[in-house]
Amino acid sequence: MMADVLITGGHAGLGLEAATKLASEWHVNLVLAGRDMNKVETAAQQLGQRYGVRVTPLSLDLASLESVRAAAATFRDMLAKGKVEPLQALVCNAGVQSLRGPVSYSSDGYEETFAVNHLGHFLLVDLLLDSVADGGRVVFTSSGTHDPETMDGKSVGAAVEPDAVALANEGKNGKKSISGGKRYSTSKLLNILFSYELDRRLRRAHQPVASIAFDPGFIPETCLSKSAPKVARWLIRTALLKWVSKKLGVTMGSLPFSGAALARIAMDPAFANASGKYFQSKTGL
Ligand SMILES: NC(=O)c1ccc[n+]([C@@H]2O[C@H](COP(=O)([O-])OP(=O)(O)OC[C@H]3O[C@@H](n4cnc5c(N)ncnc54)[C@H](OP(=O)(O)O)[C@@H]3O)[C@@H](O)[C@H]2O)c1
């Protein structure tokens, strides 16, 4: 059966690398979901032309629950009209990290990191789960930073107690927010907790869909750290810092390796029974 893969943030960074592998090696049709339609349409056109697959752009701003609802409705409409196929994978990959400056909030008034990385994806999965084909997967790009016991977790700021109400309201009413690093690592912990709970519910409902979490490892080349000071951004891309990070025990990834791994988790039959599992770029892949 033909199927599509929907990937959030598939026009940039790790998502684009995975989308490229999905198109070039797995020859699957794609739905690229993102908030900047110029960027999304450009990437969709290039991937479609280069690899001869159908790539459908989908407008989605994860910082707006209304936009998530509209994106899900558009996808379902396209599905009903036969413009796209049921999903082989719904890849929740987009993410933000806000390392300095004032705390930002989504259009619904929730702290942005929590809203984009967790809440928007949570709603998207809820609305599109029945569009995932039997044997398909929901995949979450999480991060090793979720674990405060590891070097990954310590490097950006240890995840805090995942209290949704507190996280949504960080920095409000004159209260000092936890750091942007902690907000990020906690949102990545939420990705994993959601992935595990989704697996539990899918198994209980005997639904043949897998829920899998993935840590791509540290990839300094993407735009994730764009909120960091310029010097820090330059520093983290140097070979020396990568070497030091590795020596210190940070889980290292790379665009080619981690992008290919994400594509495999979405497509490879070897991962069909991997529901409820968490894979890191350095192990088990
Ligand atoms: N890079 C790393 O070291 C690393 C390590 C572990 C995990 N990760 C995870 O990997 C995933 C991909 O990140 P990346 O490293 O590839 O960073 P990136 O280059 O900054 O890509 C992030 C993607 O998310 C999209 N996005 C941001 N806010 C959005 C919103 N409100 N609505 C819809 N899309 C939005 C961005 O779109 P725009 O172009 O519109 O901004 C972009 O496509 C993230 O979940 C991140 O947490 C990355």
Per-residue pLDDT tens digits for 109-159: 999 999 999 999 999 999 999 999 999 999 999 999 999 999 999 989 999
Burial code (b: 16+ CB inside 10 Å, e: under 16) for 232-258 equals eeeeeeeeebbeebeeeebbbbbbebb
Cα separation, 88 vs 229, whole angstroms? 39
- 218: Cβ below 6 Å to ligand 1? yes
Indicate the helix (H) or strand (E) that contains 132. strand 132-141
Ligand 1 site, residue 129, Cβ cutoff 6 A? no
Going from the Cα of 72 to the center of ligand 1, the distance in angstroms, rounded, reads 20
pLDDT in tens, 252-271: 999 999 999 999 999 999 99
For 209, what's the count of Cα atoms within 13 Å in the CB-facing half-sphere? 29
pLDDT (tens digit per residue) in 167-213: 999 999 999 999 999 999 999 999 999 999 999 999 999 999 999 99
Distance from the alpha carbon of residue 176 to the mean position of ligand 1, in angstroms: 26
